[in-house]
Amino acid sequence: MRTEKLILRNLTAVAVLLLAACASTTFTSTWKAPDVQALNPAGKTIAAVFVARNESRRRSAEDLLAADISQHGAHGVAAYTLLPDDQRGDGEAARAKLKAAGIDGVVVMRVVGRDQRITYTPGYVMPAYYGAFGPYWGYGWGAVYQPGYLQSDTVVSVETLVYSLTRDKLLWASTSRTTDPRGLDNLVTEVANATAKEMIRQGLLAP
C-alpha cells in the first residue's frame, strides 16, 4: 500500500511538471470590427507579417504563420517574399505592393512584452493518528512533509492584428499572453491557433 501511494504521488508530481512545461495562451484583450460579418478564408490570399528586428527570426516566424493561415483554408504568403527587410518605413508603398501582388488581407504579429512570473506553492502535512503505535506506523509514513517550491514562468505578450487590404480596414485586434513558449516556433503556432479559435468563437471567422 505504501509503495502504491509513493508511485501515485510521484506520477502526480510528474504530470504537474509536464503540464507546467507546456505553453498556454490566454487573451488579455480582443476587439473586432462591429460591422464585419463572418470571414470565409477560402480562396483568399493572406500575407503573414511578424514584426522583428532580426531578419532570420522574422522569416522563420512568417513561414510558420503563413503555413498556419493555409491550414485554415486561405493561401498564406510570408510577407518577406514580397516586402524585403529593407522596406519597413513606407506603409502606403507596402500596402500598394501587397495589393499589386493579389494580397486580400494581412495578419500581423508583434511581441510587445516578456515577463517573469514567480509562483510559490506552500508545503503541507497529511494528518496522522497518534492514539496508538499501530495506526501511527501506517499513517505516519504516509504523512511525510511535502516541501513547498518556487516556480518561475516566462510570459510573452503578443499583439495580433488582422487587416483587410481590399477594404483597407482593421478587422481584429488582440493581445495575448503565452506562458513558457518553447522557442519562437512554438510561440507563433500557439498564438495563431488560439487566435483562430477565438475569432471563430466570436463569430468573426467561419469554422
Distance CA 109, CA 88 (A): 15
What does the pLDDT read at residue 176?
95
**Residue-by-residue pLDDT tens, the chain, 207 positions:** 443 344 334 433 333 333 333 458 999 999 999 988 888 999 999 999 999 889 999 999 999 999 999 998 999 999 999 998 777 777 888 999 999 999 999 999 999 988 877 666 666 555 555 555 666 666 666 655 566 666 678 899 999 999 999 889 999 999 999 998 889 999 999 999 999 999 999 999 887
What does the pLDDT read at residue 88?
74
Distance CA 200, CA 206 (A): 6
What does the pLDDT read at residue 14?
36
Say if pTM beats, i.e. exceeds, 0.75: no
What does the pLDDT read at residue 206?
84
What does the pLDDT read at residue 22?
46
What does the pLDDT read at residue 140?
62
What does the pLDDT read at residue 120?
67
What does the pLDDT read at residue 122?
66
Q: What is the CATH number of domain 24-201?
A: 3.40.50
What does the pLDDT read at residue 189?
94
